[in-house]
Homo-oligomer: A and B are copies of this chain.
Amino acid sequence: MGYKRPIPTRLECPFEPQYHCRECDCKKRCFFNFLSGDPLKRFKTERRMRLYKPHQIIFSEGDQPQGMHLLCVGDVKLVKADTHGRELTISYLSCGDLVGDSPYWAGTPYCTSAETMRESVVCFLHRGLVESLEKSDPEFWRRSLRRISASLCQAMDRVVGMAFKSAEARLASFLLSLKFPPVPDASLSCHLRPAYSRREIADNLGLSPETVIRGLAAFQRRGLVRVSGKSIDVRDRSGLEKAAAER
């Protein structure tokens, strides 16, 4: 963790099959790599690329979706505000991920906000483009269903975790997930991850930053991790897994 990463110098989009992400050096498949022929051409001409600064809002909870977003370069988090000021990070997205697709399909306002965690390139597909892609290939439906269904299953896991797991167990799960990122479709995942502040971890787990700090300190005392600043190394993976399985 704690990488220095270059700011993207040009707007690019991983739409080819077996797209090789130069930035994180992982070979991944873009959600839209099934496109070819006319739909691909239309996709290329009508999508709108946009560069976002760090901590910039792509859309806000409550907005009405006007189309779909595809994250091309960067990191984005989905956050949900509580009525009392606190906010919870729902998920982290990396390049190749769709952003905010489920409210689009549901036909409801966004139930989360999307915020860049660093400079990011996002490509916007307006409603007309999405609808034409739908018609061109049922693979679009299939992938969307698979993706969102997997997210739903993950969300259920999280509900159970919040209900029954202690702060330390949840923290352990979080640390383990950093290596195998908790993105909807693992085959689309990116292995590099941004460095998380204590507060960001706390916002993800629904804990106070102090509790996160104490948990990390306890793990370090037990030799499970090695902490220095924002860099957290997992030393004893199976030990952490045991901690994550505890109540």
Contact = CB atoms under 8 A, between A and B. Distances in A.
B160 A159 contact: no
A24 interface: no
Contact of A138 (B88, B105, B141, B245): B141
Contacts of A83: 245
Instruction: Count identical subunits in the complex.
Output: 2
B156 A82 contact: no
A206 B156 CA distance: 13
6 contacts: A80-B159, A101-B149, A103-B153, A106-B145, A111-B157, A148-B148
A163 B206 contact: yes
A235 interface: no
A205 B162 CA distance: 11
Contact of A145 (B144, B156, B245): B144
A156 B153 contact: no
A107 B146 contact: yes
A86 B153 contact: no
Interface of A: 80, 82-84, 86, 88, 90, 101-108, 111-112, 134, 138, 141-142, 144-146, 148-153, 155-160, 162-164, 205-206, 245, 247
A60 B103 CA distance: 29
Contacts of A101: 149
Given A86-B164, A159-B159, A164-B82, A145 B141 contact: yes
Given A88-B163, A144-B145, A80 B156 contact: yes
